[in-house]
Chain A
């Protein structure tokens, strides 16, 4: 299994809603990532989890709250979002077995989020 799955595929939410994005991988990877991608732009890193601990937070607003319940799952909790937060949210994972060693990242298909 070399797949990263994400649910839901599409999400429309109002600015007062609370929703969650989910990501799952069963490749035994120990590093997981959230990226945000606006149309016709490259992915921008939001968060990195290594061995289920948050290791990088790229100054993301607190209305985005990541959670890593176990080594296979990664969630992104959304609350009080703004219309400009509408984007494709991508999850990725990598082997990440050793710190300071580069491993290829594998991406999921993304969740297309629209904030109304």
Chain B
């Protein structure tokens, strides 16, 4: 089937820097995208979502950008903190599948002091 994947499996950033996590998707019918953070031993935690009628959405310290032309999604974290260290997953859904989420491989973010 079609897949959602990430460009970088691991990302190491210094505390205070901005982080950018990228995600590529291949299903042209996808119209809903969501980012999750998963810390060790815990379930995925919702961060932010975006629908295909938008190209940018901002939350607290996070911004999601959607480029439908190249099927690319990114998560920007401002002023990265040690507590941001986790695995980040993008996921996508489409109307025809009832928005059952298809997850990407995940990026491990490590924030160093």
**Chain A interfacial positions (CB closer than 8 Å to B):** 4, 6, 33, 40-45, 48, 50, 55-56, 58, 90, 92, 99-110
Contacts and interface: CB of A to CB of B under 8 A. Distances in A.
B46 A42 contact: no
Contacts, number: 61
- The 4 closest A-B CB pairs, nearest first, are A42-B103, A102-B32, A107-B43, A102-B99
B101 interface: yes
Interface of B: 31-32, 34, 36, 41-46, 49, 51, 89, 91, 93, 95, 98-106
B44 A90 contact: yes
Given A108-B43, A110-B43, A42 B98 contact: no
A107 B45 contact: yes
A50 B97 CA distance: 13
Nearest to B93: A102
A43 B44 contact: yes
A100 B104 CA distance: 22
Given A56-B100, A100-B98, A105 B43 contact: no
Contact of A100 (B41, B45, B49, B95): B95
Nearest to A4: B43
